[in-house]
Structures are given as C-alpha cells and as structure tokens.
Amino acid sequence: MSDIKVLKVRPEPEKVIRKHIITVKVQHNFGVLARITGLFAGRGYNIESLTVGRTHEPDIARITIVVEGDERVIEQIIKQLRRLIETLKVKDITDLPHIERELALIKIYTADDRTRDEIMRLVSIFRAKVVDVSTDSYTVEITGDNEKIEAFINLIKPFGVKEMARTGTLAMVRESANIKMEKGDKE
C-alpha cells in the first residue's frame, strides 16, 4: 500500500459583490483626485459615485467613494489609497452606522394642470421642493439616501424627465458609532 495522503481543499468563500462606501481624508493638493481616480481606472474598478469637498480644515479635503466589489477588491482599494502620499485617513464605513445623503435636481415635464397637481403631491410626499418653474416644466430638488431618490425618480418617470443632475453620495459615520469605536480602542 502506498502512503498517499489526501489533502482536503477548502472551497473558497463565495465572493459577495456589494456596494461599499469609502471615505478618504487627503491633503487638498493639486492632482490628488486625478491620482485617486487613476488608481481605480488602472485596476479596472468602476466608481459608482464620487464626491469631493473641503472640510472644516482648509488644507484637508474629504472624498466619498462608492464602489462595488467583494471584500478582497475593497481591501486592495483601501491598501492602494493608503499608499498615496497625500492620504491622511481611509475608512470603509459600509458596515458602520452612518448617515448617507445625495442631492438631485430633476426637471420634469408638466403638460397640464392635472400633471402639475400630481407632481406637487409627489414633491410633498417625498419632502422635496420645486426650485424652478417654467410653462412646461418644474425643477425639483430632492435630498435623501439613494433608495429615496430612486423611488422618487421611478414615480415621476411617466411624466417625462427632461434633465437630471445628481451629486453622488455623501456619508459620515454616526457619532454614536464613533463613541463606541473610541471606547473599544481604549480597552
């Protein structure tokens, strides 16, 4: 008889692809955003949403990136972001309690009084507001999470969307989560 050992190979865990929200604090320098987007493009990762703005500190910018991928892909992205010289802090806040908002401006056709009334009812229900009116359209401003905005868009599509602009997702960890994380760090 031979001494052949049978090795049991564990199956690889199933790759779950989902949306991740990554926040990045960077030095507010020329070319930083180009390096970050180049990092994603060079590795074939698609950015679903990207928002950038200054923070309360004039030399610091905050970037919120929404990207789809499995845990391995997201881990690679975070490692690459941390290697950039201007990067101060990188955090995947997807699984942390957080606040998420987006702004959309949507120009909707208004054919007649009945249409205008129906649009105004939807605007009221979704706590949006009309920010511009013309003879044949309303421009509506709506803020909320992605699901709220998508639901509103689906309901107004039958009226006809003339034009739309969206900011992309902004997100911030809830303060209660920050307090819990700080206590966990001290223990």
Looking at the structure of the chain, the number of domains it has is 2
Note the pLDDT of residue 182.
55
Residue 180 lies in a domain: no
Note the pLDDT of residue 11.
58
Residues 105 and 156 in one domain: yes
Range of the domain at 60: 18-95
**How confident is the model over 73-100, as a mean pLDDT?**
94
pLDDT at 8 over 80: no
Categorize the per-residue pLDDT at 5 as very low, low, confident or very high, splitting at 50, 70 and 90. Answer: low
pLDDT in tens, 58-72: 999 999 999 998 888
| Edge-first strand listing for the sheet containing 60-69 | 47-54, 60-69, 18-27, 87-92
pLDDT at 185 over 60: no
Burial class (CB in 10 A: 0-12, 13-18, 19+), 22: buried
Categorize the per-residue pLDDT at 177 as very low, low, confident or very high, splitting at 50, 70 and 90. Answer: low
Note the pLDDT of residue 14.
62
Give 110 or 16, the one with higher predicted confidence. 110
Residues 46 and 88 in one domain: yes
Residue 52 lies in a domain: yes
Closest CA to 68 of 21, 19, 15, 22: 19
The CATH number that applies at residue 22 is 3.30.70.260
- The whole-chain average pLDDT of the chain stands at 89
pLDDT at 183 over 60: no
Residues 47 and 106 in one domain: no
Residues 83 and 103 in one domain: no
The share of the chain scoring above pLDDT 90, in percent, equals 73
Residues 104 and 91 in one domain: no
Residue 183 lies in a domain: no
169, 66 contact by CB (below 8 A): yes
Residues 105 and 137 in one domain: yes
Distance CA 2, CA 10 (A): 24
Residues 122 and 157 in one domain: yes
